[in-house]
Amino acid sequence: MQWNEENGLLLIPLGLGCLAVWWLMPSAKQRPRILGGLAALAAILMMQLMLLPPAGDYVRNVLFFLFAAAAVISAGLMITDRNPVYAALWFALVTLAVCGLFLLNSAPFLSASTIIVYAGAIIVTFLFVIMLAQQSGTATSYDQQPIQPAIASIGAFILLGALLFTLQEWGHIDGKSTNLHAEPGQFIALPEGIQPNPLSQAPHDNPHEIGSLRVLGRSLFGDYLFAVEIAGTVLLIATIGAIAIAPRRSQGTL
């Protein structure tokens, strides 16, 4: 019952949000969109009360709420928009807003590279494919209805709930704030029991260095060398696979 008291409150906005997304998803019969919108707004406001960001200065707070609201709202619109091209554009906005959040948390390189890779390349490729499939400016009939809206929204919100629950456990909080003693440039304080990696080569003493290219490189190729190499190998395998799947010149490509 201890658990229920601490985390039961979280279930209300989660359920409300799930309902809102399911309601807003495009379907055969028209539902009044205003109801879904109101439910989504209520869910966001309740969630916002429970998970306040660390108290920073005024500018930082304003920027945080701007980017966070933009990210969440565009994400909702991305899922519920009828037109695939608009969905891709909302996805681009989500990426840009999240990059703004990265920037606020002193990760400029992560922010810039996410813009280059996601907004600049991957979503452009999405748009390319969508434009090939659907060439007119107005929406056509197919590709407009989700296949299993109920299962998809419930599954996604269970995932989100698990994520939030883990974050709360990790941050040692009681449903109020994720971070009471935040260092500058830090979103969530390091929990009590966890020590920093002793093998880490990155200097932790200078707060201005956090997130700089030098520290990031040392961390990637020092602390996370194994993960980086594995990721590189997986990508290489994917590239080889793509070349293997692609038809040969003799089979009629350029």
Partner 1 sequence: MLEQLINWFPEWARPFIMPMLTIAIVLQVNLGVCSYLILLERKLSAWMQDRIGPNRVGPWGLLQPVADMLKLLLKEDVIPGHVNKFLYVLAPGISVFTTMLAFAVVPFGPVPRNLSATDGQFPFIIAPGVDLGLVFIFAVTSLAVYGIILGGWASNNKYSALGAMRASAQVVSYEIPLGMSVVGLALLTGSMSIEKILLHQADAGILGWNIWFQPLACVIFFAAAMAEAQRLPFDLSECEQELVGGWHTEYSAMKWGLFFLGEYTHVITISFLTSILFFGGWHFPWIAEPESQYLGSTLVKVLVLLMKSFAFIIVIQMLRWTIPRFRFDQLMGLAWKVLIPLATLNVICVMIVKQFHLNQWWLLPMSAALFLGAGLIGTQSSRPFARRTVEPVAEAHGHHAHAH
| Contact positions vs partner 1 (CB under 8 A) | 85, 89, 92, 108-109, 112-113, 115-116, 119-121, 124-125, 127-128, 131-132, 135-138, 212-213, 254
Helix and strand numbers (H, E) in the chain are: 9, 0
Least distance between partner 1 and beta carbon 145 (Å) = 21
DSSP string, 155-190: HHHHHHHHHHHHHHHHHT--SSBS-SSPPTT-SSPP
Strands (E), 70-124: none
Nearest to partner 1 of 4, 135 (CB atom): 135
Q: How far apart are CA 224 and CA 238, in angstroms?
A: 21
Smallest separation (angstroms) from partner 1 to the CB of 26: 18
Dihedral sign, Cα of residue 228, residue 109, residue 51, residue 123: negative
Shortest gap between Cβ of 131 and partner 1 (angstroms)? 5
Closer residue to partner 1 (CB): 1 or 213:
213
Nearest to partner 1 of 181, 208 (CB atom) = 208
Residue among 64 and 118 whose Cβ is closer to partner 1: 118
Coil, helix or strand at residue 35? helix
Name the minimum Å distance from CB 111 to partner 1: 8
